[in-house]
Chain A
Amino acid sequence: MSYLEYTVRDVPSGARKILYLNWPLLLLLSAVACVGFLMLYSVAGGSLTPWAEPQMKRFAVGMLAMLIIAMVPIWFWRNMAGLAYGVSILLLVAVEVFGTIGMGAQRWIDLGFMRLQPSELMKIALVMMLAAYYEWLPMRKVSHPFWVAVPAFIILLPAALVLKQPDLGTALLLVFSGGGLMFLAGVHWAYFVAVIASGVGVVTTVLQSRGTDWQILKDYQYRRIDVFLDPASDPLGAGYHITQSKIALGSGGWTGRGFMQGTQTRLNFLPEKHTDFIFTTLAEEFGYVGGISLLLLYALILLFCIGTALTMRDRFSALMTLGITLTFFLYFAVNMSMVMGLAPVVGVPLPLVSYGGSAMLVLLLAFGLVQSAHVHKPR
C-alpha cells in the first residue's frame, strides 16, 4: 500500500487514530493481564511482591509500547520486517555465543534492565518476515517449489538456532506459526500433507533413535515424553509436574476453593507456580467457571483478531494479523494442554498471565502491530 492510496482512501490520521484503535481487543488484553495480576497476587500469598507488581509495571510499559506502535503506519512496520528478522537472527546467534546460563539452557541476553529472550522476539519477526514475503510474491508463484523453499528456509533457520539452545517447545512454535502463515498465504495443501506425513516419520525416527549412538534429543527431553505418555510412572520425579498440576486443577471443581484459598499451589506442591503452571492456581481457586472464563477471553481475542484480519485489504496486514493471532493461540493452547496433561511439559508460558518479562513485552509489541494494521486499514 502506498502513501498515495492512504490519502485517497479514508485512513485516519493524527490524533484521530486513537479513536480507530481496536478498543475491544485492547480491553480484552487488559482483562487477561488483570487475571494474571490477580493470580500472581494470590500465589505470592496475598502480596504484590515479588511477582504482581513487577508484572504490572511491565504491562504498563508494554501497553505504552503497543500504543506507540499502533500509531505508526503499518507500511513502516512492513518495511521493518527484514530488519527485524535479521536482528533477531543475529541475537539468536549472540545468545549462542555469550548467552548466560539460565534454567539449563542459553536463552537470555541481559540488557541490564531486563533479560531478553531473542527466541520470543523471533516469533514476531518471523511472522512479519513471512507476511512481507508473501505480499511481495506474486500469487501465481506461491506454490512454486522454489518459492516454497525460500519461506521454509526463513522458518527453519531460526527454528534450528532455537532448537540448539535447546528449546524444543519454542522451536516447534516457530515451525507451527510459520507453517500456518504459509498455509494462509495459499501454498498448495499437498505441501502440508507431505510435511505432516514426513513429520510423523521424523517423530518416529526420533523416538527410535533413543538409546542409540545417534540419539537426536537430550535424555531429559525423552523423559518428558515418557512422562507425558504416562505421568503415573514417576509421580515424585519427572511425572511430578503433570500429576500435581492435574491434582490442583481437578480439586478446583465447579467453582473452585475461592480466591487465595488454593492449597496445592500455596503449599508449593507445584513448581513454577507463578510461571508456566499459573493456570493451575486459577483453576484451583476459581474452578471450572474461572478456567472457562479465561478460555473465553482468549477466544474473544482470537475472534476479534480474525475479524479484523478478514476485513484488511492489504496482504501484509492480513497475513501478519492472522500470523500473530496464530502465535498467540499456540502459546496458550500449548500451555493449557501441558497443564491439563494433553501435551508434554515444554517451557511455554500462559500468554499475558504467566510471570515473565520477555513474553509479555513481545506479545504486547505484536498486538501493537495488529492495532497498527487495524488503525491504518482503509475504511
Chain B
Amino acid sequence: MRRPGRDNAESVRRFTRRGLFLGGLQLGFMGLLGVRMHFLQVDQADQFRLLAEENRINIRLLPPERGEIFDRNGRAIAVNKPSYRITMIREEAGDVEAVLTRLAQLIGMDDDQVKAARRDLQEARPDVQVTIADRVTWEAIARVSVNTPALPGVLPEVGLSRHYPMKGDFAHVVGYVGPVSDYDLSRIKAPAPLLLIPRFQIGKVGVEAKYEEALRGEAGTKRVEVNANNRVMRELDRREGKPGVNLQLTVDHALQNYAQARLGEQSASAVVIDCTNGDLLAVASTPSYDPNLFVRGISVPDYKALTENKYRPLASKSVQGLYPPGSTFKMITALAALEEGLISSQDTVYCPGHLTVSGRRFHCWKTYGHGHMTLEAALRESCDVYFYDLSLRVGIEKIASMGHRLGLGEELSVPMSAVAEGRVPTKEWKRQRFGKDWVLGDTVNASIGQGYVLTSPLQLAVMTARIASGRAIQPRLIKSIDGVEQPLETKAQPIGLNENNLRQIRQSMFAVTNNRHGTAYSSRILAEGMRMAGKTGTSQVRNISAAERREGVSQNADLPWERRDHALFVNFAPHDAPRIAVSVVVEHGGGGSTVAAPIARDITLQALFGGTPPLSAYPSSDRSRIKAQQERLEREQRDTGDDGRDRA
C-alpha cells in the first residue's frame, strides 16, 4: 500500500466526503421511491383498486330466451330450437391444419368451409373462440365429442336459434329474425347492449319486427372473473334476465295453411276476418318463402331467386298490396247514395252500355247495356252505368267519406310490416297531389273503384266485415300476450249507418252469389245456414284503347300477365248471421267471378266448417271438380307437412 502521507490523508477525507454524498443521494432517491409508493398505494389506492376490478371483472350478457309465437289454438309458429355449432381456439389447437383436416373429415366440411374457417382463425386473436361450423347436426356434435382427445382446442357449443315449423305459411305475417346489421343499429337510438353481440338475432319483418322488444326480453348479466386473455376463470354472480313474451295470434294455422295452399302459386292474397270481433283468422299471401332461410343467412342465389321472381314472394300482398278495388267498391258508392236518401230500392237507372260525361264516353262492362236497373240488379250484375249515374248525384266527397267509414284509405293497426294506407281520393287530395282540379270523369271512375282508388285486401275484408256487422270492426292480430287476452282498444261500436240501407246492400250481395243472374252465382254455397253474400270485382290495370275495343282484344288471355285485370272478390257468411268476412285478390288473375270468387268460396267453407267441407255444400255440377281439388290440396298439405306438430 502506498503511504504518501498527507496526500493519503487528503485522499481518504475526499473519499469519505464523496462516499457520504453519494450515499446520501442514494438514500434520498429511496425516500423519493417511498413517497411515490405512498402516492400510488395510499393516496390513489381507491382509483387503482377500481381499475383493478375493471381489469379483473367482466360483465357478460346472458341473452334472454326469445318469446315464441303460437296460433289461436296454441300451435307453434315461431319457436326456439337448440342449435349446435363447433368452435375452435387457435392457441389451444396447436397444429391448426391437422386439427382442421381431422374435423373436416369428421363432420363433412367442404373445401370452401375449411378455407373460410382457416381464414377466420387466422384473423382472430389466438385465444378467441371462433365458430368453425354453424348449425351442425346433433350427430356431428356427438362425433366431435367422442373424438375430443384428437381435436385439441375444438369445442362444441349449444345455443338457441329461431325455427318456423310452418315454413312459408306465416312468412308474411310473422316474418323472420336475422343477425342484427349495421343498418339495423343505425336506425335504433341507443341500442341495447344485447344488440351489439355479433350475430345477435332480431326480428326483421312482420310480427317478429313489430314486437321485437317484447319478444326479445331483457338480458341478464353475470359477472365473471377473467384473466388477461379474457378467459373466464370463475363466475362471481349473476342476475337473471327476463325472457321475451309469448305471443298468440288470432290466426288459425289450419285455415291459414288452407288459404296459402288454395291460392297456390298464383300471385294472390286472401284475408279472413271474424265479423263479430275483428280477429284475423287468415292473412294469406302467395307465393311465399321459407323464413328459415333468412335465419340461417340466406344464400345469394336463393335471395336472388326471391327478388327476381315476378310474383314478388317477399311482398306481403294482403296488407301491403294496393289494388284498384274495381266493382267491390260499388257498395261504397251505393251506401253513400242510400245514406243521402238519393235512391230507393225501386228507383231505376237505364243502362245503354255507356254514359257520356263532359264529352267523354264511359263504358259499361256489358257492351250493349243492362237496360233498366234497380240497386239490387245493378250490384248483382255489376252494372257500371248505374253507379256512374249515382256518383254524379252523390259527389266524390260523400263517396270518399263513406269509404273511410268502412275502413278504406284508413291506416289499419295491424302489427305486420308495410301495412298500406291505400287511398280514397278527394278533390283536395288531387289538387295537392297533382295540382289539378277534380273533374267529373274522376268521380265516375272512382264510383266503380277505378281511377285513383287503391285498397289493400285487408281493407276490403274490413269493409266487408263492417257492412256485414254494421259495426266499426277493427282487425286484431295479437290474441294474447303471455296468456293475457288482448282486448280491442274500443269495442266495435255500431258504424252509424241506417240499418235498412245496410240490409239492402247485404241483400244485393246475397243476390250476387245466389241469384241466377248474379255475377258469382256459380260460386254459391248450398249448405244451409252457411250461404254467403259477396261481390265480384275485376279491376283494370290499363286503359282499354278505342282500337282494342273495336277489335275486341279485351280477352285477358290474349294479354301479357302483368297487363291482365286483377280478380277480386269480397264476401261474408253466413249471409243472415255473418261470422266471417273474406277478401281475395288474385293479381292479374282475370275476372273476379271466375277466378277470385271460387277461391273465396272455398276458403269461406273451410273456415265455417273448420275443416274440409262436405261436397253437398257445393253446386252439384261442381262437385266432381271440387272433390279432385280437395284431394290434391290435402295431398299437398301432407307433403309440405309441418313439423310443429310436436309442440303445442
Give me the interface of A with B, judged by CB distance under 8 Å.
Answer: 1-2, 5, 138-140, 180, 183-186, 244, 246-254, 263-264, 267-270, 283, 287-288, 291-292, 295, 298-299, 302-303, 306, 309-310, 313-315, 318-319, 322, 325-326, 329, 333, 336-337, 340-342
Cβ contact within 8 Å between B33 and A251: no
A250–B1 touching, CB < 8 Å: no
A248-B4 contact, Cβ under 8 Å, with A184-B22, A268-B227, A295-B30: no
Considering only residues 2-31 of chain B, those with a C-beta below 8 Å from chain A are 2, 4, 7-8, 10-11, 14-16, 18-20, 22-23, 26-27, 29-30
- Could you say which of A291, A302, A309 has the most chain B C-beta atoms within 10 Å of its C-beta? A291
- Min distance, Cβ A49 to any Cβ of chain B, angstroms: 20
The B interface, classified by DSSP as helix, strand, loop or mixed, is helix
A-contacting residues, B31-54, CB 8 Å: 33-34, 36-38, 40-42, 44-45, 47-49, 51-52
Cβ-defined partner of B41 (8 Å) among A244, A268, A288, A326 = A288
Known: A1-B1, A288-B42, A292-B34. A253 touches B49 (CB 8 A): yes
Q: How far is the CA of A130 from the CA of B281 in the complex (A)?
A: 102
CB within 8 Å for A251 and B48 given contacts A183-B22, A291-B37, A299-B27: yes
Known: A251-B48, A298-B30, A340-B40. A268 touches B229 (CB 8 A): yes
- B26 pairs with A329, CB closer than 8 A: yes
Q: Give me 9 A-to-B residue pairs in the complex whose CB atoms sit less than 8 angstroms apart, sorted by A's number.
A: A263-B52, A268-B229, A269-B56, A302-B30, A303-B23, A310-B16, A314-B1, A315-B15, A326-B26
Shortest beta-carbon distance from A307 to chain B in Å = 9
B55 touching A269, Cβ below 8 Å? yes
Q: Are A283 and B37 in contact (CB under 8 A)?
A: yes
Residue of A249, A267, A268, A302 near B26 (CB, 8 A) is A302
With both chains docked as a complex, state the minimum distance between the C-beta of B108 and any C-beta of chain A, in angstroms.
Answer: 38
Across the interface, B33 reaches (CB within 8 A) one of A180, A302, A337, namely A337
A8 CA / B227 CA spacing, docked (Å): 66
Q: Which residues of A contact B47 (CB under 8 A)?
A: 250
Residue contact A186 to B14, C-beta cutoff 8 Å:
yes
Q: Which A residue's beta carbon lies closest to that of B50?
A: A251
Q: Which one of A186, A246, A253, A303 contacts B15 once the chains associate, using CB atoms below 8 Å?
A: A186
Does B557 sit at the interface, judged by CB under 8 A? Answer: no
Q: Return the 3 tightest CB-CB contacts between A and B, nearest first.
A: A250-B48, A251-B52, A267-B227
Known interface pairs A253-B45, A287-B41; A336-B33 also in contact (CB < 8 Å):
yes
The range of chain B's interface size is: 35 or more
- Give the docked Cα–Cα distance between A248 and B52 (Å): 7
Count: A-B pairs, CB below 8 Å: 141
Chain A binding site: helix, strand, loop or mixed by DSSP? helix
Task: For residue A41, give the distance in angstroms from its CB to the closest CB of chain B.
Answer: 19
Q: Assess whether B37 is in contact with A263, with CB atoms less than 8 Å apart.
A: no
Q: Which residues of A contact B19 (CB under 8 A)?
A: 184, 306, 309-310, 318, 322
Q: A283-B41, A325-B26, A340-B33 are in contact. List 5 more A-B contacts (CB 8 A).
A: A138-B2, A246-B48, A249-B40, A249-B41, A250-B40
Q: Contact between B33 and A333 (Cβ–Cβ < 8 Å)? A: yes
Once the chains are docked, how many angstroms separate the CA of A270 from the CA of B52? 12
Q: Are A295 and B23 in contact (CB under 8 A)?
A: no
Given contacts A247-B55, A263-B56, contact A322 B34 (CB under 8 A): no
Instruction: Flag whether B225 is at the interface (Cβ < 8 A).
Output: yes
Given the complex of chains A and B, what is the CA–CA distance between A1 and B2 in angstroms? 8
Contact with A along B558-592 (1 / 0, CB 8 A): 00000000000000000000000000000000000
How distant is A128 from chain B, measured CB to nearest CB, in Å?
A: 17
CB distance from A262 to the nearest CB of B (A): 9
Contacts of A299 in B (CB 8 A): 27, 30
Pick from B18, B23, B27: contact of A186, CB under 8 Å: B18
